[in-house]
Structure 1
Amino acid sequence: MTKLTYIAPDGATFEVEAEDGSTVMENAVRHGVPGIEAECGGACACATCHVYVDEEWMDAVGQPEAMEEDMLDFAYDVRPNSRLSCQIRVREDLDGLVVRVPERQG
Structure 2
Amino acid sequence: MAKITYLHPNGTATVVDVQAPNTVMRGAKLNNIDGIEAQCGGSAQCGTCHVYVDEQSTVPLPPMDSVEDDVLYGTACPRRESSRLSCQLPVTEELDGLVVHLPEAQS
Q: TM-score range by the shorter chain?
A: over 0.9
After TM superposition, the structure 1 = structure 2 runs for residues 76-91 of structure 1, keeping only pairs within 5 Å, are: 76-91=77-92
Unaligned runs of 5+ in 2: none
CA distance in 2, matches of 1:79, 1:17: 26
Give the corresponding residue for 2:55. 55
Instruction: Provide the alpha-carbon RMSD of the alignment.
Output: 1.3
The 4+ residue runs of structure 1 with deviation greater than 3 A are: none
Unaligned runs of 5+ in 1: none
Q: Which amino acid aligns with 1:14?
A: T
Report if the CA contact (8 A) 2:59-2:94 is conserved.
Answer: no
SS in 1 for 2:105: coil
Quote the offset at 1:17 in angstroms.
0.5
The total of aligned residue pairs comes to 106
Q: Which amino acid aligns with 2:57?
A: W
Normalising by structure 1, we get a TM-score of 0.94
The structure with the largest helix share of the pair is: 1
Report if the CA contact (8 A) 1:5-1:97 is conserved.
Answer: yes
